[in-house]
Amino acid sequence: MSKDEGGATSGDNQAAGQDNFGTPADPAAVKKGGKLVIALSAEPDALDPTLSRSLYSRYVFQAICQKLYDVNEQAQVVPQLATALPTVSGDGKTVTIPLRQGARFADGTPFDSAAVKATLQRHLTNARSARKSELGPIDTVDTPDANSVVIHLKQPFAPLVGALADRAGMIMSPKALQTLGDNFASAPVCVGPFKFAKRVPQNSIDVVRDPNFYDATKVNLDAISWHILSDASIRAANLRSGDAQVADSISTQDYGALRGDSSLSVLQSQSLGYQGLTFNIGNVDGVGTTPKPINRPIAQNAKVRQAFEYALDRKALVQAVFNGLNAPACSPISPASPFSSEEAQACPQHDPAKAKQLLSEAGVQTPYPVAMLISNTPDSLRLAQALQAMVKDGGFDLKINPVEYSSLLDEQDRGNFELLQLGWSGRIDPDANITNFVGTGGSQNVSGYSNPQLDAALTQARQSNDLEERKKLYGQAVTILQQDDALIYLYRQRNLTAVSKKIQGLQVFPDGVIRAAFAGFTK
Partner 1 sequence: MARYLLTRAWHSALTLLMSTVVVFFGVRALPGDPALALAGEDRSPEALEAIRHHYGLDQPLPIQFAQYVGRVAQGDFGVSIRTGIPVSSMLTTALPVTVELSLLAILLAAALGVGAGVLAAVRRGRPAEWLANGLALVGLSVPHFWLGLLAILYLSVAAGLFPASGFVPLLQDPVGNLHHIVLPAVILGTGLAAIIMRQTRSAMLEALSSDHVRTAKAKGLRPRAVITRHALRNSLIVVVTIVGLQLGGLISGAVVTEQIFGLPGFGKMTIDAVFQRDYPVIQAVVLLTATAYIVINFLVDLLYSVIDPRIRVTGEPA
Find the shortest distance in angstroms from Cβ 268 to partner 1. 22
Judge contact between 314 and 356, C-beta under 8 A.
no
Find the shortest distance in angstroms from Cβ 243 to partner 1. 5
Q: Which is nearer to partner 1, 5 or 404 (CB)?
A: 404
Binding residues for partner 1, total number by CB under 8 A: 53
- How deeply is 277 buried, as exposed, middle or buried, from its count of CB atoms within 10 A (0-12, 13-18, 19+)? buried
Amino acid at 423: G
- Calculate helix-pair angle for 302-311, 352-361, nearest 10 degrees: 160
Q: Which is nearer to partner 1, 140 or 230 (CB)?
A: 230
Binding of partner 1 by 411 (CB under 8 A): yes
Find the shortest distance in angstroms from Cβ 439 to partner 1. 12
Binding of partner 1 by 28 (CB under 8 A): no
Long-range own/partner contacts, residues 12-15 (CB < 8 A, 24 or more apart)? 12/259, 12/265
Q: Which window, 369-377, 401-409, 479-487, 509-517, contacts partner 1 (CB under 8 A)?
A: 401-409
Find the shortest distance in angstroms from Cβ 56 to partner 1. 10
Q: Which window, 66-74, 352-360, 399-407, 447-455, contacts partner 1 (CB under 8 A)?
A: 399-407
- Reduced to 3 states (helix: H, G, I; strand: E, B; else coil), residue 441 is coil
- Letters for 167-196 (x = contact with partner 1 by CB under 8 A, - = none) are ----------------x-xx----------
CA distance 271 to 325: 12
Judge contact between 49 and 168, C-beta under 8 A.
yes
Beta bridge partners of 522: 30
Find the shortest distance in angstroms from Cβ 286 to partner 1. 9
Find the shortest distance in angstroms from Cβ 406 to partner 1. 3
Find the shortest distance in angstroms from Cβ 203 to partner 1. 3
Amino acid at 420: L
Find the shortest distance in angstroms from Cβ 70 to partner 1. 20
467 Cβ contact partners less than 8 Å away, ≥ 6 residues apart: 338, 339
CA distance 272 to 266: 19
Count of helices and strands (H, E) across the chain: 17, 24
Find the shortest distance in angstroms from Cβ 387 to partner 1. 23
CA distance 342 to 56: 33
- Letters for 204-223 (x = contact with partner 1 by CB under 8 A, - = none) are x-------------------
Find the shortest distance in angstroms from Cβ 183 to partner 1. 8
- Letters for 47-86 (x = contact with partner 1 by CB under 8 A, - = none) are -x--x-xxx-------------------------------
Judged by CB under 8 A, the residue of 443, 466, 501, 523 near partner 1 is 443
CA distance 16 to 9: 7
329 Cβ contact partners less than 8 Å away, ≥ 6 residues apart: 274, 275, 276, 314, 489, 490, 491, 492
CA distance 164 to 410: 30
Binding of partner 1 by 290 (CB under 8 A): no
DSSP one-letter code for 42:
S
Judged by CB under 8 A, the residue of 215, 243, 285, 469 near partner 1 is 243
Q: Which window, 88-96, 200-208, 215-223, 373-381, contacts partner 1 (CB under 8 A)?
A: 200-208
- Letters for 368-397 (x = contact with partner 1 by CB under 8 A, - = none) are ------------------------------
Judged by CB under 8 A, the residue of 124, 381, 413, 479 near partner 1 is 413
Which residue, among 320, 323, 340, 321, has the nearest Cα to 331 in the 3D structure?
Answer: 340
- Letters for 123-162 (x = contact with partner 1 by CB under 8 A, - = none) are ----xxxx-xxx----------------------------
Amino acid at 523: K
Chain CA centroid to CA 354, Å = 34
Judge contact between 70 and 80, C-beta under 8 A.
yes
Q: Which is nearer to partner 1, 40 or 118 (CB)?
A: 40
Binding of partner 1 by 285 (CB under 8 A): no
Q: Which is nearer to partner 1, 79 or 159 (CB)?
A: 159
Binding of partner 1 by 409 (CB under 8 A): yes
Under rule CB under 8 A, which residues in 481-500 are in contact with partner 1?
A: none
Count of CA atoms in the C-beta half-sphere (13 A) of 523: 8
Count of CA atoms in the C-beta half-sphere (13 A) of 203: 5
Q: What are phi and psi of 246, to 5 degrees?
A: -140, 145
Which residue, among 112, 129, 123, 127, has the nearest Cα to 51 in the 3D structure?
Answer: 129
Q: Which residues of the shown chain bind partner 1 in the complex (CB under 8 A)?
A: 39, 43, 45-46, 48, 51, 53-55, 127-130, 132-134, 183, 185-186, 199-204, 227-231, 233-234, 237-238, 240-243, 287-288, 403-407, 409-411, 413, 424-425, 443-444
